[in-house]
Chain A
Amino acid sequence: MDEGEVFGFLGPNGAGKTTTIRMLTCLISKTSGTARIGEYDIGNSLDQPKIRRIIGLVPDNVGLYEELTAYKNLDFYGRYYKVDETKRRERIEYFLKLLGMWDKRDLAAGTFSKGMKQKLAIARSLIHDPQILFMDEPTANLDPEASKTVRDFILALKKEKKTIFLNTHNLDEAQRICDRIAILNTKLMAYGTPAELERSASGRKVVVQLESVNNAIISAAKKVATGNVEVGEGNKLTIGVNDPEKENPDIMSAIGAAGGRIQFVTEASSTLEDVYLKLVRSQ
């Protein structure tokens, strides 16, 4: 992961996402392999307290102190991380105002909605200004409105260049928020930007919408295309290409020379959902 990046970790239940987060946050030991957080090794017991100091964790269960107020929940975590009192007060006020919860600062966390609790848990994980934030399914079990609020908050953190490791099985969320995604199903299945993953599933394809299609046009396209040429409904040709930037001009010229009248050209790619399902089901 790079600094300032939002890294998505996608996988079905039981894939090992939470276990990975727990290893990376030094809550459980690794059995093999290596991982470093900043300059520290997660397997080194002397490094582990240093890692805990520079990370924030939003676990899959918010785990707030339900009896305590929103303010106190943040205040105690500030103390746990030894944030000095003045800075603690400033940061609590900043986050509660940012989340629209300042007016509710003296209410017990147990009285909040799920979305508000989740926002408070995120604020709690940021109270000591960590370099890296680990979030374990932050929008799971939230209604669409609450999910959006949380997602917007994550996007605001992304704008602030926070490094975020996001566990999720919400594909739409991953696609919208993450710079890079890893798909996990007890082992790493795929890794890349959302666009790279989408292309990786079936290669790159270009869809050419024509006024009409005939055999001469299909033959002309097949001669120059590096991939398959498929005829679709509504006078569409779907053409497999390795390097569309180089191949497309030749394909379009060939189609034009064969009498084809091109209406528009689009790139066809698999959705992240297609990629995910293909990889998960293949195991």
Chain B
Amino acid sequence: MIEMDLQNAWSVASKDFEIFKRRKGVLYATIAFPLGIALGFPGVLVAIESVAGTGTISASVAPFLNAFSFWYVIGAASLPTGIASYSIVGEKIQKSLEPLLATPMTDSEILLGKSIAAFVPPIAAIWASSVVFMVMIDLVTHAGLGYLYYPNWSFGVILLVLAPLASILSIELTVILSARANDVRSVQQFTGVMFFPFLIIYVMTEIGVIQLTIINLLIMSGIFLVVDLLLFYLSIATFKREEILTKWR
């Protein structure tokens, strides 16, 4: 049975939000990546259109649009690692974990608080930039397609189900790796490896091996959910007061 007081978890998350606001590098990276997706791909389409000189974007780009939206899952999986690694390994380096662990909060509350802190800013940035992305894509493709491509159900599943699950997976993995790491960069290097499976899925969608249909997206979400649950129990088992103080390097 996991003992949990959400107010305690929120207190830990609030503190991490305050620190996050002051770490400009992490803050800018969290905003820049999803914004880059939102502006970059429509920009590429406009560039292709101007080179081709067709005046409008043809309907043949539709499958690429669908595949491209998977970048939001990649973003959701990679962005929280920066915050989570600073939040856990950063505290370990600053030696601020010991006084925190001496408070009455449970290990699970501290872990949940840190997870919320790593989850909320990237997901908020991804959702906010997705609005920009949808508007931009509709603006540049409406004339050629003859209809508004976004919003659609697939993108809805990507944003509301798959991206959060990918984000949780990445946070849990960062927690587990943090137990073995003694600097922020090494955690980020390890979690960076996680980027590749997502990139492979993206490439497979672009070349048509995987179709991002709602069914396929829900199957993927189911797999992510199972992995998330497994990693959740593993991260709970890793994040123990005594282990942190005696075994974490």
Contact surface of A with B, Cβ cutoff 8 Å: 22, 25-29, 49-50, 52-53, 55, 57, 59, 61-68, 72, 76-77, 79-82, 108, 121, 124-125
Known A76-B15, A77-B103, A80-B105; judge A27-B98 contact (CB<8 A). yes
Known A61-B98, A62-B95, A63-B95; judge A28-B245 contact (CB<8 A). yes
A76-B11 in contact (CB<8A): yes
Which of B18-26, B29-37, B218-226 lies at the binding interface?
Answer: B18-26
B242-A125 in contact (CB<8A): no
Known A49-B104, A49-B106, A65-B15; judge A28-B246 contact (CB<8 A). yes
B95-A59 in contact (CB<8A): yes
Contacts of A29 in B (CB 8 A): 242
Contacts of A68 in B (CB 8 A): 15, 18-19, 22
Decide yes or no whether B102 CB sits under 8 A from chain A.
Answer: yes
A63-B98 in contact (CB<8A): yes
State A178–B19 Cα separation when bound (angstroms): 38
Known A76-B15, A80-B11, A80-B105; judge A67-B23 contact (CB<8 A). yes
Decide yes or no whether B8 CB sits under 8 A from chain A.
Answer: yes
A28-B242 in contact (CB<8A): yes
The residue that A57 contacts in the complex, of B95, B102, B106, with Cβ under 8 A, is B102
Instruction: Tell me the chain B residues, 85-115 only, with Cβ under 8 Å from chain A.
Output: 94-106
B102-A65 in contact (CB<8A): no
A-B contacts, 14 of them at CB < 8 A, read A49-B106, A59-B95, A59-B99, A63-B100, A64-B94, A65-B15, A67-B18, A67-B19, A67-B22, A76-B11, A77-B99, A81-B104, A82-B7, A125-B99
Contacts of A121 in B (CB 8 A): 99
State A66–B7 Cα separation when bound (angstroms): 24
